[in-house]
Amino acid sequence: MSRELLQNVRVLDPVSGSDRIADILIAEGDIKAVEDKIAEFPADTEVRDCQGLILGPGLTDIYSHSGEPGFEDRETLESLMQAAAAGGFTRLAILPDTSPPVDNLAGLALLQQHIRNLPIGLPRLYFWGALTAGVKGQQMAELGELASCAVVGFADGLPLSNPALVRRLLEYIQPLGKSVALWPCDRTLAGKGAAREGAVSVRLGLPGIPASAETSALAAILELVASAGTPVHIMRVSTARSVELIRDAKARGLPVTASVTWMHLLLNVGALSGNSQDSGGKNALTASLAYDPNLHLEPPLGNLSDQLALIQAVKDGVIDAIAIDHNPHTYEEKTVAFADSPPGAIGLELALPLLWHGLVETGEFSALELWRVLSAGPAVCLGQTPLTVAPGVSAELILFDPEMSWTVDGQSLKSRSANTPWLGQQLAGKVVQTWIN
């Protein structure tokens, strides 16, 4: 394997809390040295001046969706992993809502077989096992068998409406020692809503989803966690009130972690109208089309107060990680009326540059704070050891150019789908190299 010396690169390491300019020597898949100046190195070393570039541990995504198997026209495992690598993600965990779902050993074996046939050098892929049979929320899946076969944890990625079932799941999973991720959402309260309930949804004529659809379900989950004592990860936090509930739960010592999806930090419901006044100046879109179906998300984009509370919760550590929730859909699926479109958007290739320019360059986050919730925090939520930049460890790294310009289009995207509100826009920030040992 080749030797590389990166000179004058900005090295971010959230594990050690280090943010400094340094030289780094990489050889045989490992980090050999990280020093202020490396003067001596083997003659066959490739030397690169990386002034202005940022080197950090590979990013980890807690949950995203794969089209394969069952919906390969949306995304294949190979295109998913290529998109992840292009966006700086060296590890990602896939939700079990494929077809067939990962609710038994056969479904898991099918995915593992697909991976064995893929090229080397792609990100490490992990699988969530389904909590319920068929991901239908009616009865427990084969949890014991799945736990013995390397699933990263258990999650349906869909709301569970039966509290008695949730209680039994938590009691059964506790001795298995696996992560559990739950999405708090009361479908009865959400109804057929498509946008966060409020002045903007009324003005746009879109059916609203009240914040209580999330918070009431979250309160119930937290009560069950307090009773069972099983650690739980709260997915897709999107309301200010949810932040308060999680903050209180952590203060009481409940074993919970939480994540917010990246678009809920950058956008709020005002983006749906394309009106900067509605967004309070807090939407990271250079131009927005009203009723853009690519802004139809689950949970819906929150109000400005929700967005501000989520940003602060990430800074405070109340929210432990940013998730991408990459959810590809075809052009035909998304080219319908807003409320009729399937919810979800892609994000693996877009999240880092948009978060960097939307939160770091504006002073909302420090560079280390962003890297922490995209790399170390997600790893901890998955029960993994966070990646670090230190001599003697494997080189699982990314090199990011925050100023490189590129256009979001079908030619530049590695993802098979292009359902994003940033389609056609010019962005700054690109991962220029990924090391995966």
What's the token pair of residue 244? 């308060």
Distance, CA of 270 to CA of 277 (rounded, Å)? 8
Q: DSSP letter string over 78-107?
A: HHHHHHHHHTTEEEEEE-S-SSS-SSSHHH
Amino acid identity of 104? N
> Going by DSSP bridges, is the β-strand pair 397-407/426-435 parallel, antiparallel, or unpaired?
antiparallel
Query: Tokens standing for 233?
Result: 């990860």
Nearest one of 219, 297, 233, 229 to 265, comparing CA atoms: 297
The token duo for 267 is: 């956008």
State whether residue 253 is helix, strand or coil.
Answer: coil
- Cα(258)–Cα(256) distance, integer angstroms: 7
Please name the residue ranges forming H helices in 272-394.
276-279, 304-316, 331-334, 351-355, 367-371, 377-381
Residue 69, preceding peptide bond in cis (omega within 30° of 0): yes
Q: Of 357, 291, 350, 356, give the one whose Cα is nearest residue 324.
A: 350
**Residue type at 54?**
I
Cα 142 from Cα 109, distance rounded (Å):
14
d(CA 173, CA 179): 9
- Smallest Cα–Cα separation from 141: which of 125, 115, 160, 113? 160
Residue of 325, 340, 401, 409 with catalytic role: 325
**CA dihedral over 129, 133, 137, 140, signed as positive or negative:** negative
Round to whole Å and give the CA distance between 42 and 4. 10
Query: Known catalytic residue: 320?
Result: no
Q: Tell me which residue of 165, 65, 64, 68 sits closest to 107, measured CA to CA.
A: 68
Catalytic positions, written as ranges: 325
